[in-house]
C-alpha cells in the first residue's frame, strides 16, 4: 500500500485557502493509496475552537469525500468539529467509496488548554484499508504508549500533528520508539509554518518496523513523500522475531 505524507504550511484560520492548498498538494504529490494531512489542516491547531470549528455539515469533510473519490484513494486528516454542544479534535479517514471512519483525540493537550474546550475520545479506532490495519492517533497521543500498545490488532500507526519546533526532538524520538516497540509502520505527519503561538518545522516521516526512515519530508518546507507499506515484509519480520508473543498483558 503506497502512502503519501503531506507536510503543509497551514494559514491560520483560513479554511477555504487551506483546503485549496491541500487539494493542490494532493494533485502534485506522488500517487498513493492513502494521503495523510496534518492535525487541523483546514484551520491550524486551536485549543479554543469558537469561530474556527466546523459543524456536522462540515465543508472540509465534504471536500475529503470528493477528493478521495477523485483519486481512488483514502484521505486522512483531523478537523476541529462541533457535534451538538460538544467540540472534538476528530481525525477522519475517508475512503473513495464514501465510507468514513472517525477517531476523536483521546489525550487532549492540557498544557495549551485543549482539555477545557474539547471532549476527549474514549475508543481505540483501527481501520482496515487495502490489506493494512491502521490505528488512528492525533499529536499528543504520541506521548502515551499504553493506549497505543499493539495487541496484534494493527500493522500501522498514523499520527497527525501540530508539533512545535521547540519540542521536535521528542517527536522524532517517540515516533521511532512507537515503530520499534509495536513492530509496525509509523506515519507521523506534522505541519510547517507558524500560528499566533508556535513555529513548526515539520519533520514528517514514515518509519519501518525496523526503525528505519523510509520517507522523510524536508524540515521547514512544504513537502510530499511516498513510501510502500509492505505487508509481506512485516509478516515475515514478525514471524522471524515474534516480540509481541512476549509482551506484558495489560489489565484494565
HSE of 147, CA atoms in CB hemisphere, 13 A: 18
CA distances from 198 to 47, 88, 235 (A): 13, 21, 40
Handedness of CA 11, 156, 139, 137 (dihedral sign): positive
Handedness of CA 218, 219, 223, 224 (dihedral sign): positive
Measuring CA to CA, which residue among 135, 106, 100, 138 is closest to residue 119?
106
HSE of 27, CA atoms in CB hemisphere, 13 A: 8
- Tell me the residue ranges of DSSP E strands in 123-191: 126-129, 132-138, 156-160, 185-189
Gyration radius from the chain CA atoms: 17
Q: Is 105 a catalytic residue?
A: yes
CB 12 within 8 A of CB 52: no
Which residue in 39, 54, 114, 222 is the catalytic one?
A: 39
Helix H or strand E encompassing 133: strand 132-138
Q: Which residue has the cell 472517525?
A: 102
Which residue in 67, 71, 105, 225 is the catalytic one?
A: 105
Q: Is 239 a catalytic residue?
A: no
Report the C-alpha gap between 168 and 244 in whole angstroms. Answer: 29
Q: Is 39 a catalytic residue?
A: yes
Q: How wide is the angle at C-alpha 140 spanned by C-alphas 137 and 220, nearest 5°?
A: 95
Which residue in 58, 139, 184, 217 is the catalytic one?
A: 139
Give the residue numbers annotated as catalytic, written as ranges.
Answer: 39, 105, 139
Amino acid at each position: 500500500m503506497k502512502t503519501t505524507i503531506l507536510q503543509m504550511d497551514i494559514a491560520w484560520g483560513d479554511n477555504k485557502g487551506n483546503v485549496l492548498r491541500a487539494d493542490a498538494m494532493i494533485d502534485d504529490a506522488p500517487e498513493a493509496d492513502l494521503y495523510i494531512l496534518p492535525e487541523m489542516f483546514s484551520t491550524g491547531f486551536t485549543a479554543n475552537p469558537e469561530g474556527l470549528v466546523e459543524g456536522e455539515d462540515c465543508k472540509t469533510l465534504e471536500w475529503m469525500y470528493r477528493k478521495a473519490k477523485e483519486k481512488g484513494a483514502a484521505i486522512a486528516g483531523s478537523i476541529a468539529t462541533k457535534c451538538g454542544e460538544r467540540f472534538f479534535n476528530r481525525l477522519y479517514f475517508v475512503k473513495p467509496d464514501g465510507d468514513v471512519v472517525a477517531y476523536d483525540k483521546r489525550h487532549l493537550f492540557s498544557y495549551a488548554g485543549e482539555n477545557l474546550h474539547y471532549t476527549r475520545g474514549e475508543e481505540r479506532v483501527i481501520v482496515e484499508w487495502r490489506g493494512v490495519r491502521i490505528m488512528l492517533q492525533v499529536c499528543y497521543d504520541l506521548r502515551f504508549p499504553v493506549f497505543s500498545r499493539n495487541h496484534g490488532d494493527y500493522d500501522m500507526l498514523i499520527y497527525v500533528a501540530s508539533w512545535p519546533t521547540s519540542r521536535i526532538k521528542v517527536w522524532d524520538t517517540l515516533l521511532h520508539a512507537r515503530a520499534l516497540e509495536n513492530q509496525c509502520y509509523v506515519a507521523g505527519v506534522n505541519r510547517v509554518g507558524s500560528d499566533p503561538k508556535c513555529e513548526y518545522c515539520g519533520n514528517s516521516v514514515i518509519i519501518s518496523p525496523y526503525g528505519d526512515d523510509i520517507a522523510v519530508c524536508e524540515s521547514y518546507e512544504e513537502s510530499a513523500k511516498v513510501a510502500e507499506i509492505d505487508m509481506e515484509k512485516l509478516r515475515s519480520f514478525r514471524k522471524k522475531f515474534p516480540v509481541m508473543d512476549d509482551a506484558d498483558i495489560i489489565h484494565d
